[in-house]
Amino acid sequence: LDQVTGLEAWKYDNTSPYYGYEFLAQRLTRLKRFQHTNQQQDLAQYLREGLSFDLANISYPLLYAHTFVGTKKLIEDYIQAVCDGFAYIASDAFTAFDLQQKIEYFNAAIQAYGQPVLMFSGGATLGLFHSGVCKALLEQDLMPKVFSGSSAGALMAGMVATRTNVELLELLNGDGFYEHAFKFRSITKIIRDRSGIADIQVLKNFLRENLGEYTFAEAFAKSGRHVSVVVAPYQAAYRPRIMNEIMSPDLLLWSATLASCAVPYLFPPVKLTSKRCDGVYTPYMANTRWVDGSVRSDFPQEKMARLYNINYSIASQVNPHIVPFMQNDIVRYRRDLLSWPTRLIRHQTKNITLDVLDLARHHLHQIPFVQRIIDHGYGIVGQRYYVQNYLNYCNEKESKPFGRKFPELKHMRESVRRLNIVCKY
Among all residues, which ones are annotated catalytic? 151, 292
Got the DSSP string for 18-79? TS-HHHHHHHHHHHHHHHHTT-HHHHHHHHHHT--TTGGGTT-GGGGSSSSS---HHHHHHH
CB 273 within 8 A of CB 281: yes
Q: Whole-angstrom Cα distance, residue 369 to residue 375?
A: 10
Cβ partners under 8 Å of residue 375, min gap 6? 236, 295, 296, 361
283 CB neighbour count, 10 Å cutoff: 12
Classify strands 241-243 and 290-292 as parallel, antiparallel or unpaired.
unpaired
List, in order, residues 6 or more apart from 115 with CB less than 8 Å away.
144, 145, 146, 308, 309, 310, 311, 312
3-state secondary structure 320-331: HHHHHHCEEHHH
